[in-house]
Structure 1
Amino acid sequence: NQNCITHGRSDMGYLYWRWKPSECHLPRFDPLAFLTLVRNKHLAFVGDSMARNQLESFLCMLATASSSTLLYNNDNNKFLRQHFPSHNVSVSLYWSPFLVKGVEKSNSGPDHNELYLDHVDERWGGDMGQMSLIGGLVLGCHYCPGLNHTGIGFYDVLRKALRTTLNGIVDRRGGKGSDGVGVNLTIFSPAHFEGEWDKVGACPKTGPYRKEEKKLEGMEAEMREIEMEEEEATKVKVKGIGGFRLEALDVTKLSFLRPDGHPGPYMYPFPFANGAQERVLNDCVHWCLPGPIDTWNEIFLKILKKWEEQLRIEE
């Protein structure tokens, strides 16, 4: 897990920085308010290990207000479901690193990723009819040389996979009554490697970047632009479809400013218990818990409140 404190990280400064939007107030996460908004619903987080990271943050914050029961946990934390009986809320994780149908490279299988860009991954698509909120829809790739194919660049693959995913949700759940489905697309979260991943100092920062200190550019800016474009195109397509809500959870810029929030060497407990090490594994991709990723779920709650207000106005 990414509990950096229990793994021995001693500096605590990363816990006290808070994202402040320029045009609105972002309240602290209210777990009871969230559970009340999603009473009798099923919330699904779909994606790769970043979706799981967001889910774990979410479950930790909900646990401060209500106890839950683990219904199942299969395949090394890749498919799990928690139930909050106080509000009859189910929260699930579906491992789907490409969102579309695919075969991951492995020691016992192919040495490259095989993607079928015109088919949604049925490991989560097959349960779509049970989902009220698809709240952790994450499509991100930090190092994927195997995704490139002759004639199709990485950005084309990203766009096609995301378009198939969003179209699949619209086709299966659009206009299914007043409850419908809410889709929250979590936009790409940048990594912060400054050195080799297996050496000390891979992500050494202990504080956030200042506003103008570093610019979002290159692959990270391009991925964010593609994901925002596809989200906007889908919103135009579903305009007027009752019960369908779609919103981008744009965390790219706020996450980009937080190089201090990653586990680094504390991805495993006490990496320096036996003194300084020449080689140490570093996680400069995922986020400490608690940490900056908690803000993602504060924004998610804000989006749900906005949807609820829109429904009241429409009624």
Structure 2
Amino acid sequence: MVLVFFSLFVFFLHPSPTKGEDFSGINNNAGNNRSRSLATNCNWFRGKWVYDPSYPLYDPFKCPFIDAEFDCRKYGRPDSTYLKYRWQPFSCTLPRFNGVYFLRKWRGKKIMFVGDSLSLNQFQSLTCMIQAWVPNSQISYIKRDGLTSVSFLEYDVKILLYRTPYLVDVVNEGFGSVLKLDSIRGGDAWKGMDMLIFNTWHWWTHTGTSQPFDYIEDGGKTWKDMNRMIAYYKGLTTWARWVNRNVDPFKTKVFFQGISPTHYEGKDWNQPTQSCTGQTQPFFGMRYPAGTPMAWVVVKKVLSRIKKPVYLLDVTGLSQYRKDAHPAAYSGLHSGTDCSHWCLPGLPDTWNHILYAALFS
């Protein structure tokens, strides 16, 4: 096991981006030119945050989709500057988001976010951004355990969220709950979509009482635990096989939401005594001091080997700068400090703005 871990560790690290390296956002799946069909010559993911008094893109008090955990204004956040930052790529300008255009182009289509609470964050952001353009449109909003949908009935556009923290299965067996790294039973629910936006990472780091499984299984073998980065690689590889087997690229566009960073430790931006609490400004340095997360390297490795076109929403670098954009104590759900999720309106709006650019530019 030690030899396997060492081999994979070297595999992940070489050749990987160096500490503090800018994120390129290149979607260059090996041997897969079709994956570039959504991309342009502009690199949407390298740029800077600029103050824009016209922001935010919607009024949180007029959007019915924002859960308490992201509703920072409702739960007392006193500052508002964090709402006013717009992402400006260095080499171009993002096209203006137009919710009516989005609905018209995707008329009769189904879009599904698949993943954890960061997928929920992005799902609610997109539905709010669109609803702001059609405030009087008839909408169906259905929330069930594990599946939520917002339908813009006039346009026959349905946007769904399928909650699955690991993408792979967690199954209750007689001896306990098992994270199965080589199994995706829930994938049947993802079929038939016109767009899929996948995400998983944060739950892979949970241990102790915060993890929802007792054992890890792979290839018929069961462990009490294993190196989580190796487990993440194995789980993502299973997801990649699912995409290769089940996605028709002529019918379904596939995106993967990049690693969303946390800001619990101020040492990541050279302020070791701080966290996201009380942060009111982004990090404005050219390079984020903490450098590239190892999970980002794993994602890039898996995507480089996938056969079907998958567009990476490479939001890690631009999100690392936004230490000011978390709910912190201003959440209606988390009793402590939340430096993992993002206020709405806020950073996930930029993720969706780039999604819009990738689709329509």
Partner SS, residue 94 of structure 1: strand
How far apart, in 2, do the equivalents of 1:71 and 1:151 lie? 39
Equivalent AA in structure 2 for residue 91 of structure 1: I
Deviation at 1:158, TM superposition (A): 1.0
In structure 1, what is the Cα distance between the partners aligned to 2:299 and 2:349? 21
The RMSD of aligned alpha carbons is 2.6
* Corresponding residue for residue 132 of structure 2: 64
Q: Gaps spanning 5+ residues in structure 1: where?
A: 239-244, 272-279, 307-315
Q: Provide closer, same or farther for how the CA distance between residues 63 and 71 of structure 1 changes in structure 2, counting only shifts above 3 A.
A: closer
Counterpart residue identity of residue 181, structure 2: L
Matches within 5 A, 1:161-176: 161-174=235-248
Which of 177, 186, 198 pairs up with 2:257?
Answer: 186
1:230 correspondence with 2:302: yes
Q: Contact (CA 8 Å) 2:263, 2:339: kept in 1 or not?
A: yes
Q: CA deviation at 1:162?
A: 1.3
Q: Using the alignment, how far apart are the partners of 1:213 and 1:172 within structure 2?
A: 39
Change (3 A) 1:93 1:151: closer
CA distance change for structure 1 residues 202 and 247 in 2, over 3 Å: closer, same or farther?
closer
Other-structure match for 1:263:
327
Task: For 1:222 and 1:258, locate their aligned partners in 2 and report how far apart those are by CA, in whole Å.
Answer: 19
The TM-score with structure 2 as length reference comes to 0.69
Deviation at 1:4, TM superposition (A): 1.0
> What is the aligned length?
270
When residues 287 and 71 of structure 1 are mapped into structure 2, their CA distance, relative to the original with a 3 A threshold, is closer
Cα deviation code 1:66-100 (max 9, x no counterpart): 3353353112xx31111112221111110100001
Q: CA deviation at 1:29?
A: 2.0
CA distance in 2, matches of 1:255, 1:71: 29
Give 1:151 deviation, angstroms: 7.7
The separation in 2 between residues aligned to 1:44 and 1:19, in whole angstroms, is: 25
* Whole-angstrom distance in 2 between the partners of 1:302 and 1:227: 22
Shift in alpha-carbon separation, 1:41–1:68, aligned structure 2, 3 A: same
Letter in 1 for 2:110: H
Q: 2:141, 2:332 → 1: CA distance? A: 27
Question: Secondary structure at 1:70's aligned position in 2?
Answer: strand
Decide which moves more: 146-155 or 42-51.
Answer: 146-155
The percent of aligned pairs where both chains have the same amino acid is: 30
Over residues 218-246 of structure 1, what are the superposed CA-to-partner deviations in whole Å (9 max), with x where a residue is unaligned?
Answer: xx611111112212221xx23xxxxxx42
Q: CA deviation at 1:65?
A: 2.0
1:120 maps to 184
Q: Deviations over 1:5-57 (max 9, x none)?
A: 12111111101112111222113321112212222111000001110010010
* Structure 2: segments with no counterpart, 5+ residues: 1-67, 217-222, 267-273
Task: Specify whether residues 164 and 87 from structure 1 end up closer, same or farther in structure 2 by C-alpha distance, changes over 3 A only.
Answer: same
Scaled by the length of structure 1, what TM-score is found? 0.78
Equivalent position amino acid for 1:168 in 2? W
1:221 maps to 293
- Residue 312 of structure 1: aligned partner: none
Q: Match for 1:57: what amino acid?
A: S
The aligned amino acid for 2:336 is L
Asked whether the equivalents of residues 71 and 343 of structure 2 are also in contact (C-alpha less than 8 Å), the reply is yes
Q: Secondary structure at the match of 1:290?
A: coil
1:10 aligned residue (69, 78, 81): 78
Say which SS state the counterpart of residue 267 (structure 1) adopts: coil
Q: What is the CA distance between 1:213 and its match in structure 2?
A: 6.5
What are the within-5 Å matches in structure 2 for residues 1-315 of structure 1? 1=68, 2-66=70-134, 67-70=137-140, 72-75=142-145, 78-103=146-171, 110=176, 114-122=178-186, 125-135=187-197, 137-141=198-202, 143-145=205-207, 146=211, 149=223, 152-174=226-248, 178=250, 180-194=251-265, 203-212=277-286, 214-217=288-291, 221-234=293-306, 237-238=307-308, 245-268=309-332, 281-306=336-361
Cα distance change of structure 1 residues 68 and 138 upon mapping to structure 2, 3 Å threshold: farther
| AA matched with 2:239 | T
Question: 1:118/1:213 Cα in 2 relative to 1: closer, same or farther (>3 Å)?
Answer: closer
* Counterpart-to-counterpart distance in 2, 1:284 and 1:121: 31
SS of the counterpart of 1:72? strand
**CA-to-partner distance for each residue in 1:243-277, whole Å, 9 max, x for gaps?**
xx4200011001100010011100129x9xxxxxx
Secondary structure at the aligned position of 1:261 is classed as coil
* Paired position in structure 2 for 1:274: none
SS in 2 for 1:118: coil
Shift of 1:121: 4.0
CA contact (8 A) 1:39 1:88 kept: yes
